[in-house]
Amino acid sequence: MQTIKAAVCHAFGAPLVIEDVLLADPGMGEVEVTLEAVAICHSDISYAEGAWGGHLPAVYGHEAAGVITGLGAGVSGFAQGDSVIVTLIRACGNCPSCAGGRPTICETRYDSVNGPLKTADGSPLDQAMACGAFAEKVVVDQRQIVKIPDSIGKDVASLVSCGVITGVGAVVNAAQLRAGQDVVVIGAGGVGLNAIQGARIAGARRIIAVDMSEEKLEIAKEFGATHGVLATLDKPWKAANKALGRRGADAVLITVGAIAAYEQAPRYLAPGGKAIMIGMPHSGAMASYEPVMLAATGQGLIGSKMGDVVIQRDIPWMIDLYSQGRLKLDELISGRWSLDQINEAIADTKTGSAKRNVILFKR
């Protein structure tokens, strides 16, 4: 095992600690990736605060990009020196979900506590979300990575591995939006902005952004929103309905974990519309609906994990759209920080003003 630096969570809600940890060599079907960038996602923060439980100590982080520096036995299609995006989607490829084209809900369980990470004294260290990317290096399954051109900056590439595929993928794969349809996106943060530009790319007629912040609504328009509605209005769905010609939206994408957003989402829908549930509330949080209204109008509620993507299929075309200038990535980065500044970067992310903060590893 080799020694690397990582940001370790020892207690939920406490600052992360930069320390030496041990990383195993890649095993069968695994690769070692030396990271150049990892973005901070709200899911990392929620996990570190204990929102969904989990084992401690743990290393979080799952939006990463870097260069392959080690190959285990049985790896094919990759070589040392390849630039890659690293995702948390660890798929076995054989279970019913994987075989059915839905690797984001792979049914094979992965033991992250007894994975490639150990503390400096050799004790178990959770490789959270099958990534553990708040670290200088990761060892992950070859199915979790996608090769990208060397010309793509790793800072922008890291965003694709979660926020971009989740937002854009939810529009294309879960909502299956058709050109000319109308969309409401609740939440104009990192995932919300990507849902907005996904709707723009898919040819939506009107795209309504809903958020608590006037500033974020203005930013949403830069990504493709045609209208902005303040969530602080008494009945924000009425303002959205008016902007949509009083019909409602064909798809409502909830990109925040706020229960109020989930409870209000069906009110934005047109008959036959569907609400796509993306944001992750804390465990135990409950929302309520009036089922008869959904049944009578043919509306639906659909969960979408990681945009229902197949990374080997979907990431290449997203990278190609970025290369053409049609998918905004650079504009998503609010700040760049070092690993030693990770707690400051997390605090800045928690203010709600940041789109995405990125940790850069000096090479």
Q: 341: domain CATH number?
A: 3.90.180.10
User: Distance between CA atoms of 101 and 139, rounded to whole angstroms?
Assistant: 25
pTM for the full predicted model? 0.92
The tally of CA atoms less than 13 A away on the side-chain side of residue 276 is 32
Instruction: Looking at the structure, tell me whether residues 251 and 123 fall in a common domain.
Output: no
How far is 151 from 328, CA to CA, in rounded Å?
16
> Tokens representing 28?
């069968």
Block residue for tokens 């299929």: 313
53 with 92, same domain? yes
Residues 113 and 197 in one domain: no
Q: Tokens standing for 151?
A: 């010309």
pLDDT at 363: 56
Residues 187 and 60 in one domain: no
Is 116 a domain residue? yes
| Residue 114 belongs to some domain of the structure | yes
Average pLDDT over residues 256-284: 94
**109 and 239 belong to one structural domain:** no
204 and 335 inside one domain: no
Distance separating alpha carbons of residues 281 and 270, to the nearest angstrom: 25
Q: Are residues 251 and 133 part of one domain?
A: no
Whether 158 maps to a domain, the answer reads no
CA distance 168 to 163: 8
27 and 110 inside one domain: yes
Give yes or no: residues 134 and 203 share one domain: no
Decide if 7 is inside a domain.
yes
Residue 296 lies in a domain: yes
Per-residue pLDDT of 303-314, as tens digits, reads 999 999 999 999
Beta sheet of 183-186, edge-to-edge order? 227-230, 207-211, 183-186, 249-254, 269-277, 300-303
**Residue at 162 is within a domain:** no
- Reading the block at residue 279, the tokens are 């944001």
Provide the pLDDT for residue 353. 77
Residue among 145, 35, 153 nearest 84 (CA): 145
Residue range of the domain that includes 242? 167-304
Contact between residue 168 and residue 195 where contact means Cβ atoms under 8 Å apart: yes
Residues 297 and 338 occupy one common structural domain: no
For 58, the 3-state DSSP assignment is: strand
Residue range 314-324: mean pLDDT, rounded: 96
Mean pLDDT, the chain, whole residue set? 95
354 vs 277: CA distance, rounded Å: 22
pLDDT of 289 reads 87
Q: Is residue 313 part of a domain?
A: no
The answer as to whether 318 is a domain residue is no
Compute φ and ψ for 342, nearest 5 degrees.
-60, -40
Relative orientation angle of helices 214-222 and 190-202, to the nearest 10 degrees: 40
SS3 280: coil
**CATH of residue 284:** 3.40.50.720
The pair phi, psi for residue 193, each rounded to 5°, is -65, -35
Q: Distance between CA atoms of 322 and 333, rounded to whole angstroms?
A: 14
Contacts of 207 (CB under 8 A, 6+ apart): 182, 183, 184, 185, 196, 199, 200, 224, 225, 226, 227
pLDDT tens track for 10-59: 999 999 999 999 999 999 999 999 999 999 998 999 999 998 988 999 99
Q: Which helix (H) or strand (E) holds 359?
A: strand 356-360
In this structure, the answer to whether residues 54 and 134 fall within a common structural domain is yes
The number of folded domains in the chain is 2
Q: Are residues 119 and 234 in the same domain?
A: no
